[in-house]
A and B are shown apart, each in its own frame.
Chain A
Amino acid sequence: MTPVFSWIYFLLCLILVPPLVLSIIGKTKARLQNRRGPVLLQVFYDWSKLWRKDQTLSSTLSGVFRSTAVINTVIYLSVALFVPWLAQKPPIDGDDLFLLLYSLALARFLCLLASMDAGSAFGAFAASREATLSLLVEPAFMLTLVALAVCSGSTSLSSIFAFSINPGAGPEVWFLGGIAIFLCGLVELSRMPIDDPTTHLELTMVHEAMIVEASGRNLLLLEYSYAMKMTVFLGLSAQCFLHAYFQFLPVGAIWLCLLSVAGIFGLAVLVALIEALSVKLRWRKAPEFIAYALTMSFLACLVSIAKGATFR
């Protein structure tokens, strides 16, 4: 692929995929519930409405709240720039897996602070839940990426997800890794069965209650960074499945590009399917669900240390 084409492809995906993922989830869910659902471009309409609206800020808020939306947007944008969530080398170097994990932690840290800034009970309780979930998920996500890194002999994400013909990791590691990252994504993005994003009871929500004080363009930035985060998570998971597939049936670069976008949309449909078919778990059952993600990552680790070669 020529560099020009790959840049065009990347920018198109960066702009179009995040809102489309949200739209596809909404549309699929509506169809499964026998509703017609919003049009595919609904997210764009919502966002343009948020763009035009004024903000309402609580008088208790400090600078922490106002800077959080900005910093989070920049963090998730740069994560999208240095993580290989499309089947090509990301545009920015410095794609270490620990940098990814700790950048996500930085975004979360600020989000937690912002939701406690207004002095309302809703935001703070949601922050407490969010922090609990994400800290339980952190080892699973980290170990999955580490298992893949052990196989490929590097902690750089672009050399882990490199589509080499003779990679260290077998298809089973990629498959387990894909499932683990998907499950971690469900928890990190507070989707069902951990959290119901469509409920209207602030006391039970996680992500939605954290941003309850945000409005107007502030909310737009938070929504955008959420969509970006979702795309990166689904993208990484899709890449894992694609790598597993690639080992059986190597395909060309163009096909990989198409397949990775299709994979992200396919996983979005899966998210919607889970949301339509399952119920929200009780809060105390959430650690048990996370245990599935942890088990998958442990299995991936076991296979990787048993089969992964020693390098030096």
Chain B
Amino acid sequence: MNLGFEFGKLNFSATLFAIAIFIWMIQSVISLLCGKKCRHDFSSFLFALPCILVLIAAGASWNHPPVSFEASTIMFGDVHIAEKIDSLSAIFLSLLSVIGIATSAFSVSYLKHLKGRINPSHYWSAISAFMLSMCMVIVSANAPTFLVFWELMSLSALALIASEHQQEDVQKSAFIYLIATRTATAFLIAGFIWMHSIAGSWGFDSWSFAGKNWLPALFIAIGLCIKSGLWPFHLSLPYAYTAAPSPVSALMSGVMSKVAFCAAVRFLVVGQVDSLVIAGVFLGAGLISMFWGILFSLVQQDLKRLLAYSSVENNGVIFCGLGLALVGQAMNHPIVSALALAASIFHSINHGLFKALLFLSAGTVETAAHTRDLGLLGGLASRMPITLLCFVVGAASICALPPSNGFASKWLLYSSLMNEIWCSSELTVRGLALVSIGILGLVGGLSVFSFARAIGVAFLGNPRSESAAKASELGVFSWLPQITLACLCVILGLCASFVTGQVELLACATLKIPITSTPKFQMPMPQIAVLFFVSAMLVYHLILKTSKARKYVTWECGFGSLSPRMQVSSVSFAQPIARIFSQILRFKLLVEIKGADRRHFPEYVKVEPQTASILESKVYGPLVQMLRTLSDLLAKLQAGSVHLYLLYLCLTLLLIVAVGTKL
């Protein structure tokens, strides 16, 4: 297979990259041919190897001049495959490879436990095609390359989501995901063709969105918003991430949505968008989706669905940063745009890491306890301590609690908002920035609530079902990737001042602004953490360890033993918040009481809380209904009668003749 790469002319990182792509391509084909004989450990190794190569390639091209290479033999007219590895793509490539390595190891234990439910050859073939296409999208340098691999990425993701296609809800999820990707691609193609007609070239380098060109930029922006699942297009995320196997959810949430973000930076920030409309779209959609996402994650019963909604929130944070960077670009506040872009790039890396970690932990829980339903979990802490620890680290990072990496990126975002207030003299801009800070604060509180609920109900207390009581750790392939990702989260948080400095340099280079004295993240996190750890150890050993402790039952007012059903349920834990935001969540308590005339001793009481998505029931539902009615009408045209079709032919002929004579 000749891709037209001439290895002699390529430099080190491009060569490694090409080899990695080649290995994935071969794996994709071979796994499909192997059929049932496909071995997990071998496939996993073959899958992880290119990840390592890509990681080295990304490291080698970090802070180096961009490397461009083209596959000139695949060419139709001016359309050819063109790639460019620069620092921006290097940072996303390294995220991709780290999560790729973690999922490759995790997949082994996950698939062994789900023997028979997922076809291994199908899985490995699709997942290597998925990785390959994500890599190529990140480094693509012109529109045709981007679109080809973007489509391959979407369709291989679809194949992975539909891994368990025998189940009806998986079919539905795959279908919803398909609709979302089709719409996203349609918008992207429209924007690309428009830009081609303006710039006269497919190369991204020659595209400039400044001035009047904001309309095609809007198409591209909407396409990318749909792909990364921002409000109001977020509905595909909870379906897709829940239906997909956990390692795939980790890849989709950790990498694929970041690929869309990387594309947004490449097109819109590098393309010098200076329109406040685009900035407003990102900022508004980002703010709404972070609030909306976390609010819905708070009432979910399914662990993976909860994580999916929290992905909506985090994508909102990321795109809010991007919008703020564009605001800074439009209003000529270089400090704000540099800080905000650095915040969103850093947060997208961080979110990739901790969300992948959380999905892997959720996958472990799912395979160990055979359920994802919070109502059936509980009490996993004593038997799955490593998973608990990893989940707590992931949750702490996602709630931006210090000293995690999430705190550093949230701090950058807050800092950019503060700088926007200080830079701008317009009252409305300052007010909007303050409101954004308030919303971020509220979202922070909500995410603490949501993840405390998830951990408390799933891991702590007493088990709520037989299968949860029997759950245990799955083995080294399941906990090693989790621990690695958790350590990365903590390390990135501790080295935050160095890492944010580097990311700020990247942001300045991307924005083409001279390196000014941007405010730095100056908190001495390692020192604080060491001091904290030492003093915590001291307090523990001097105060708690020295006192005698007696084991006894949990306090139950002396009425007798507690049953697991007397614990708080996930529904009742979220109920106060659900009641406060009942307008958005459409929260209702359906109460049914029989024999209420006996006042204090009714015969039968049933209380059922109900939440529904307002978008699904009020907007998308009627839309789908309308489409269905329209297509029913259209279907009547196709009556299956030859006579009718002859009539259509006649009418068409008449129409053409009429139009032809008029012209």
Contacts and interface: CB of A to CB of B under 8 A. Distances in A.
B643 interface: no
Contacts of B523: 94, 96, 99
A236 interface: no
Given A55-B547, A57-B549, A116 B415 contact: no
A312 B448 contact: no
B440 to A, nearest CB: 8
Contacts of B552: 56-59
Interface in B388-415: 388, 392, 395-396, 399-402, 407, 410-411, 414-415
5 contacts: A62-B385, A71-B536, A131-B577, A138-B442, A153-B422
A69 B543 CA distance: 11
Interface in A118-160: 118-122, 124-125, 127-129, 131-132, 134-139, 141-143, 146-147, 149-150, 153, 155
Contact of A70 (B438, B539, B564, B566): B539
A41 interface: no
Contact of B441 (A57, A66, A139): A139
Nearest to B551: A59
B460 A122 contact: no
Nearest to A78: B532
A119 B547 contact: no
Given A122-B555, A124-B456, A153-B422, A305 B427 contact: yes
A120 B555 contact: yes
A231 interface: no
A105 B576 contact: no
A116 B568 contact: yes
Nearest to A52: B547
Chain A interface, >50% SS class: helix
B423 A312 contact: yes
Interface in A51-80: 53-60, 62-64, 66-67, 69-71, 73-75, 77-78
A89 interface: no
B556 interface: yes
Q: Which 9 A-B pairs have the closest CB atoms?
A: A135-B445, A116-B456, A124-B568, A119-B461, A62-B381, A142-B441, A138-B445, A112-B452, A58-B554
Interface in A80-106: 93-94, 96, 98-99, 101-103, 105-106
A128 B574 contact: yes
Kindly name the residue among A78, A93, A105, A283 whose own CB sees the greatest number of chain B CB atoms within 10 A.
A105
B175 interface: no
Interface string B8-22: 000000000000000
Contacts of B245: none
A62 B411 contact: no
B449 interface: yes
A13 B532 CA distance: 21
A102 B445 CA distance: 10
A101 B554 contact: no
Given A55-B550, A60-B462, A120 B421 contact: no
A59 B553 contact: yes
Interface of B: 335, 378-379, 381-382, 385, 388, 392, 395-396, 399-402, 407, 410-411, 414-415, 418-419, 421-425, 427, 430-431, 434, 437-439, 441-442, 444-446, 448-449, 451-453, 455-457, 460-462, 522-524, 528, 531-532, 535-536, 539-540, 543-544, 547-557, 562, 564, 566-568, 572-577, 579-580
Contacts of B522: 94
Contact of B431 (A71, A99, A305): A305
A171 interface: no
Kindly name the residue among A93, A99, A120, A311 whose own CB sees the greatest number of chain B CB atoms within 10 A.
A120
Given A99-B402, A131-B452, A213 B444 contact: no
Contacts of B575: 128
Given A66-B544, A143-B437, A150-B434, 18 more contacts: A54-B549, A58-B554, A74-B535, A99-B407, A116-B568, A119-B461, A120-B562, A120-B566, A121-B566, A127-B573, A132-B449, A135-B448, A149-B418, A218-B544, A221-B539, A284-B579, A310-B424, A311-B423
B568 A125 contact: yes
